[in-house]
Amino acid sequence: MEMTMQILILGAGYAGLVCALQTRKYLTKKEATITLVNKHDYHQLITLLHESVVGARSDQSLRIPLGRVLRDKDVTIRKGTVARIEPDNKRVLLGDGEELSYDQLVVALGSETEYFGIPGLKEYAFTLKSLNQARLLRRHLKSCFARYPRERRPELLRFVVGGAGFSGVELVGEFADALPELASEGGVPLKLVEIYNVEAAPGILPGFDPDLVAVAEKSLKQRGVRFLTGVPICKGGPRSGSFKDRGCDRR
């Protein structure tokens, strides 16, 4: 009698979720069991997190319940974190002590932010890879405007986004759109707000059509975004950072 294959997928991001759905298209329940492990019971639309940062989208709208996506797909959902993978024993140990065996394992646990060895970034910079991180950044943004009338520190109104790839440019675009309202609510003159997008490469949006890049850059500059290209960040701190511009340190 042919044994049913056990397929274990770790992570319900885009890769893990699509893997589960596509695998079930080609393998019946009798041919394979599919178990999907994720630390949340929902899938996060991480490509839209920049909208959540400024409140353009609710956090709830970026959570897609796994039970809804996988309804009637014969996929078992396990909520938990991965503590250890034992390939020799073909099993995975979860944080709560549960052990899951497998014949085929798919590891799709996401990615980690690359800090490129820059001192201080991991300790002091915000990252944007989850709804929780978007919520923290949103809270910080609003706090800066609320605190400025009392503290009068210019750095409270200076926002720096490192990296001018697709995600970085999307984020400064959302900042630019939201800042007039945030400034008005906080009683802060908009002219005092500074938005910087720092990029070590010679230009923004590498790999995109040059004409589209030019349009995006012009539009964002008109909304107050300041691009610093060819400028690598070299240090981050609790209240400041530094970067190199043409061989000179700037803060």
Residue-wise pLDDT for 170-208, tens only, equals 999 999 999 999 999 999 999 999 999 999 999 999 999
Active site residues: 170
Mean pLDDT for the chain overall: 93
Query: Is pLDDT of 242 > 80?
Result: no
Instruction: Give the model's pLDDT for residue 248.
Output: 34
Compare 102 and 234 and report the one with higher pLDDT: 102
Is 158 part of a structural domain of the chain?
yes
Q: What is the mean pLDDT of residues 129-142?
A: 95
Q: How confident is the model at residue 52 (pLDDT cuts 50, 70, 90)?
A: very high
Residues 6+ apart with CB under 8 A from 54: 138, 141, 174, 175, 177, 178, 182
How confident is the model over 217-230, as a mean pLDDT?
96
Q: Using the predicted structure, report yes or no on whether residue 244 has a pLDDT greater than 80.
A: no
**Residue 155: predicted pLDDT:** 94
Same domain, 132 and 230: yes
User: Are 69 and 99 found together in one domain?
Assistant: yes
**Looking at the predicted structure, is the pLDDT value of residue 67 above 60?**
yes
Q: Which of 57, 77, 107 is the last residue of a domain?
A: 107
Q: Which H or E element spans position 94?
A: strand 91-94
Reply yes or no on whether the pLDDT at 96 is more than 60.
Answer: yes
Structure token pair of residue 117 = 């060895």
42 in any annotated domain: yes
245 has pLDDT over 60: no
In this predicted structure, the answer to whether residue 240 has a pLDDT above a threshold of 90 is no
* Residues 174 and 206 both lie in one domain: yes
H helix intervals, the chain:
14-26, 49-53, 66-69, 121-124, 131-151, 166-186, 210-222
Residue 114 resides in a domain: no
pLDDT at residue 82 in the model: 97
8-state DSSP, 2:
P
Q: Is 220 found in the same domain as 187?
A: yes
Identify whether residues 52 and 134 lie together within a single domain.
no
Q: How far apart (Å, rounded) are the C-alpha atoms in residues 50 and 169?
A: 10
pLDDT of residue 246: 40
pLDDT band at 116, cuts 50/70/90? confident
Q: What's residue 241's pLDDT?
A: 64
What pLDDT, on a 0 to 100 scale, did the predictor assign at position 229? 95
**Lowest mean pLDDT: which of 13-17, 144-148, 243-247?**
243-247
User: Does 115 reside within a domain?
Assistant: no
CATH number at residue 75: 3.50.50.60
Q: Residue 249: is its pLDDT beyond 50?
A: no
Residues 244 and 150 in one domain: yes
Q: Are residues 102 and 136 in the same domain?
A: no
Counts of helices then strands in the chain (DSSP H, E)? 7, 15
Of 175 and 1, the one with more pLDDT: 175
Higher pLDDT, 251 or 236: 236
- Residue 52: give the domain boundaries: 5-107
Residue 116 placed within a domain: no
pLDDT of residue 238: 80
pTM: 0.86
Q: Is the dihedral of CA 12, 57, 198, 201 positive or negative?
A: positive
Tell me whether residue 112 is in a domain: no
Query: How does residue 251 score in pLDDT terms, banded at 50, 70 and 90?
Result: very low
- Clarify whether residues 143 and 85 are in a common domain: no
Q: Which of 48, 83, 107 is the last residue of a domain?
A: 107
